[in-house]
A = this chain, B = another copy of it.
Amino acid sequence: MREDLIALNAEYAAALDDDRLEDWPGFFAEQCFYRITTAQNHAQGLQAGLVYCDSRQMLADRVLSLRRANVYERQRYRHLLGLPRVLGTAVGVTSVDTGFAVLRIVRGGTTDVFASGRYLDEVERGPGGSLQLRRRDVVCDSSRIDTLLAVPL
């Protein structure tokens, strides 16, 4: 399981960093939940997120609007992922906690830490046997959110 989780995260990160956004929804189950929130909101049990999608179709729509909006890509991202910590398994669904940091590389400029935090995931085996995300809560350490946070994390 651990090996598969590591592979899932490595592929997920590479898809985003290589700007293959169209591949991103494929890491999720059809019925899924994706949210970007802050550690502060998460600790207070607030359900609202900065980004909120509850189906794979909604993730695909999000990618479409990102492509329309960002005609000229002026920055790149680089994910640095921690090792997954399996928190438990119930009825075929495994809960996982994985730390992450994302660097942002601005064209002609400097590289800074764009975001850090942890992925709180629920994963399950998909139809083909490979792991899929049923739920990914992206809990960001910082509450100061960049206006460009439209990109998937």
Contact = CB atoms under 8 A, between A and B. Distances in A.
Interface in A72-124: 76, 78-85, 97, 99, 101, 103, 105, 107-113, 115-118
Given A11-B85, A101-B103, 11 more contacts: A2-B3, A13-B99, A14-B85, A14-B97, A76-B141, A78-B101, A103-B116, A108-B144, A109-B144, A110-B144, A111-B116
A99 to B, nearest CB: 6
B141 A6 contact: no
| Contact-residue bracket for chain A | 35 or more
A142 interface: yes
A141 B99 contact: no
Copies of this chain in its oligomeric complex:
3
A10 interface: yes
A41 interface: no
A80 to B, nearest CB: 6
A37 to B, nearest CB: 14
A113 B112 contact: yes
A111 B80 contact: no
Contacts of A110: 112-113, 144
A72 B17 CA distance: 36
A94 to B, nearest CB: 15
A39 interface: yes
Contacts of A79: 82, 99
Contacts of A2: 3
A31 interface: no
